[in-house]
């Protein structure tokens, strides 16, 4: 392998000649061989860094054009555009398990932008710290990148995925209107519901989750950039914080503002905890929905069997013909991962000391993973399971009319205790509710038929 010599304030370092990173990135690459290639810094954070670096250069050019010249701005902007487009992903090798402030990832961005910018300019006009990191600190850039990436993940990936599944459930509601089935509570038979009503519960849960995710975006739109090292804004020109937030808004097409208190935004991660809580709520609802679907599809002969779902692959290496609810299982595993991630995010957020939180990379890793996994699991579940849900009308009818809880309809006519006696006699003797009620002398056969209409109990 060919190497070149790069240097930083600690001296010279050998760097692979075909890579754009510099000395500080290489030091981190060598010093933190933890989860290499498996738990790298999420690429969404890298791309968010490029957005904020370009915006910072634009703001510095506007506020201090003598230092951030048009030539430097142009070189930085073009390099950042390449990063945002994913063209330079291979030049960001660092793992999550590094300094808790994310300093090395900030410097990775600074060095790649400087080196690529100098290539574009055809001369060495950019310094990683003096130019690309101008008016910034790792302590305010990393939380800014985290917020930008989090907003993108929620607005552009997670919410659209949920809305696709909502549309599917709304279609299923319309298609299954009028089909009455047995309800269930405590995993036991309960009074009837329409299948469309059951589906509407899934739909409404997801719609409420979208509302909560949208609420969570607002505090995430406040950015720490401009606070520099400890929140005072040292070495940043006056008005830089507001100006750079405006530039980020322009570049992203999303509304970002400067955080009103930088001492809070550098050390507290409560906005991320709140947002991840909304993601966890969605995971909880997806766990419930996936479990409902696989229970309803259980069988095909010895379970509930009230719906059928697509048969996507063989379900057993030993039992021929077996098909399993694999999409449901994938969703529930992802939900468990998200719930575990929520613990990591919450504990990490509690570890702010004085003017800084030094658990930011692990917060970023877990947050981005939760949003990505959940969005992809929802889309997979929709495509490979939900769109193909079909009601087994005959099984629903048979289960409904075999349910002892239909006796609830008799409460107004024979009272709760007599209805309970009717249900117990029917169960013990394996006879119908009508036979039990008549045998006990509570109603005549004619009166029973007059008042007993399961389809009207919904």
Read off the pTM. 0.96
Question: Among candidates 51, 137, 45, 136, which has minimal Cα distance to 89?
Answer: 45
Does residue 244 lie within any of the structural domains?
Answer: no
Give φ, ψ of 30 to 5 degrees: -85, -30
How many separate domains does the chain show? 3
Per-residue pLDDT band for 104 (boundaries 50, 70, 90) equals very high
What letter would DSSP give residue 408? G
pLDDT mean over 326-330: 98
Tell me how many degrees the CA angle 445-446-451 measures, rounded to the nearest 5.
100
Does residue 230 lie within any of the structural domains?
Answer: no
At residue 415, the pLDDT reads 97
At residue 139, the pLDDT reads 98
**Last residue of one domain, picked from the residues 394, 415, 438:** 394
Does residue 172 lie within any of the structural domains?
Answer: yes
Question: Do 82 and 198 fall into the same domain?
Answer: no
Question: Do 191 and 266 fall into the same domain?
Answer: yes
316 flagged as catalytic: yes
pLDDT mean over 106-132: 98
Question: Among candidates 361, 354, 355, 345, which has minimal Cα distance to 49?
Answer: 361
Question: Among candidates 192, 204, 196, 373, which has minimal Cα distance to 288?
Answer: 204
Tell me the β-bridge partners of 284.
Answer: none
Rounded alpha-carbon distances, angstroms, from residue 61 to 72, 77, 135, 275: 9, 12, 11, 34
Question: Do 153 and 283 fall into the same domain?
Answer: yes
Question: Among candidates 337, 329, 304, 339, which has minimal Cα distance to 381?
Answer: 329
| Euclidean distance between the first and the last CA atom of the chain, given in angstroms as a whole number | 73
Task: Please state, rounded to an integer, the average pLDDT across all residues of the chain.
Answer: 97
* Domain of residue 417, CATH code: 1.10.40.30
Retrieve residue 447's tokens.
Answer: 């009166």
Question: Do 21 and 41 fall into the same domain?
Answer: yes
What does the pLDDT look like over 225-248, one tens digit per residue?
999 999 999 999 999 999 999 999
Tell me the H-state helices in 221-269: 240-252, 262-267
Question: Do 166 and 314 fall into the same domain?
Answer: yes
At residue 341, the pLDDT reads 98
Question: Do 299 and 336 fall into the same domain?
Answer: yes
Percent of the chain exceeding pLDDT 90 equals 98
Does residue 210 lie within any of the structural domains?
Answer: yes
Does residue 245 lie within any of the structural domains?
Answer: no
The residue with tokens 């519901």 is 193
Per-residue pLDDT band for 103 (boundaries 50, 70, 90) equals very high
At residue 344, the pLDDT reads 98
Retrieve residue 375's tokens.
Answer: 């969005």
pLDDT mean over 345-361: 98
At residue 227, the pLDDT reads 98
**Last residue of one domain, picked from the residues 371, 394, 417:** 394
Question: Do 292 and 154 fall into the same domain?
Answer: yes
Does residue 235 lie within any of the structural domains?
Answer: no
Question: Do 294 and 421 fall into the same domain?
Answer: no
* Domain of residue 106, CATH code: 1.10.275.10
Does residue 363 lie within any of the structural domains?
Answer: yes
Question: Do 165 and 312 fall into the same domain?
Answer: yes
What letter would DSSP give residue 221? T
Does residue 417 lie within any of the structural domains?
Answer: yes
> Which residue out of 7, 204, 316, 453 is catalytically annotated?
316
What does the pLDDT look like over 415-434, one tens digit per residue?
999 999 999 999 999 999 99
Question: Do 283 and 390 fall into the same domain?
Answer: yes
Question: Do 101 and 195 fall into the same domain?
Answer: no
Question: Do 412 and 300 fall into the same domain?
Answer: no
What letter would DSSP give residue 260? S
Per-residue pLDDT band for 75 (boundaries 50, 70, 90) equals very high
**Last residue of one domain, picked from the residues 394, 412, 438:** 394
Residue 78 sits in which domain range?
3-134
Question: What is the number of alpha carbons within 13 Å of residue 404 lying toward its C-beta?
Answer: 16
């Amino acid at each position: 392998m060919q190497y070149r010599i790069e240097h930083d304030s600690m001296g010279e370092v050998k760097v692979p000649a075909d890579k754009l990173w510099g000395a500080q990135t290489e030091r981190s690459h060598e010093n933190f061989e933890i989860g290499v290639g498996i738990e790298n810094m999420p690429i969404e954070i890298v791309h968010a860094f490029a957005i904020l670096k370009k915006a910072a250069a634009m703001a510095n050019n506007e506020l201090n054009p003598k230092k951030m010249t048009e030539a430097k701005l142009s070189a930085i902007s073009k390099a950042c555009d390449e990063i945002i487009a994913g063209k330079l992903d291979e030049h960001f090798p660092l793992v999550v398990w590094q300094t808790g402030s994310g300093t090395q990832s900030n410097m990775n961005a600074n060095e790649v932008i400087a080196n690529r910018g100098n290539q574009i300019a055809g001369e060495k006009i950019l310094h990683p710290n003096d130019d690309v990191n101008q008016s910034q600190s790792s302590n305010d850039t990393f939380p800014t990148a985290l917020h930008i990436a989090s907003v993108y993940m929620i607005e552009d990936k997670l919410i659209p995925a949920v809305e696709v599944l909502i549309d599917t459930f709304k279609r299923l509601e319309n298609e299954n209107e009028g089909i009455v089935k047995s309800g269930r509570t405590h995993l036991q038979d309960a009074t009837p519901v329409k299948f469309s009503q059951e589906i509407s519960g899934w739909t409404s849960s997801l719609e409420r989750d979208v509302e909560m995710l949208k609420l969570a975006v607002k505090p995430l739109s406040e950015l720490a950039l401009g606070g520099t090292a400890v929140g005072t804004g040292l070495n940043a020109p006056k008005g830089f914080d507001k100006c750079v937030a405006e530039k980020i808004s322009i570049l992203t097409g999303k509304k970002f503002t400067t955080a009103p208190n930088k001492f809070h935004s550098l050390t507290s991660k409560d906005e991320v905890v709140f947002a991840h809580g909304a993601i966890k709520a969605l995971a909880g609802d997806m766990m419930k929905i996936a479990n409902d679907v696989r229970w309803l599809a259980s069988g095909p002969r010895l379970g509930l069997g009230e719906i059928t779902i697509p048969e996507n692959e063989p379900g057993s290496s030993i039992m021929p013909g077996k098909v399993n609810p694999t999409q449901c299982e994938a969703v529930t595993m992802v939900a468990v991962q998200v719930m575990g991630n929520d613990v990591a995010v919450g504990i990490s957020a509690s570890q702010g000391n004085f003017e800084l939180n030094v658990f930011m990379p692990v917060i970023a890793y877990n947050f981005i993973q939760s949003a990505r996994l959940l969005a992809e699991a929802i889309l997979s579940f929709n495509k490979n399971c939900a769109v193909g849900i079909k009601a087994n009308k005959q099984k629903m009818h048979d289960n409904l009319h075999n349910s002892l809880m239909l006796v609830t309809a008799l409460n107004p006519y024979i009272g709760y205790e007599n209805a309970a006696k009717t249900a117990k006699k029917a169960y013990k003797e394996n006879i119908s509710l009508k036979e039990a009620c008549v045998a006990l002398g509570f109603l005549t056969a004619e009166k029973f038929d007059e008042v007993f209409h399961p389809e009207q109990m919904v």
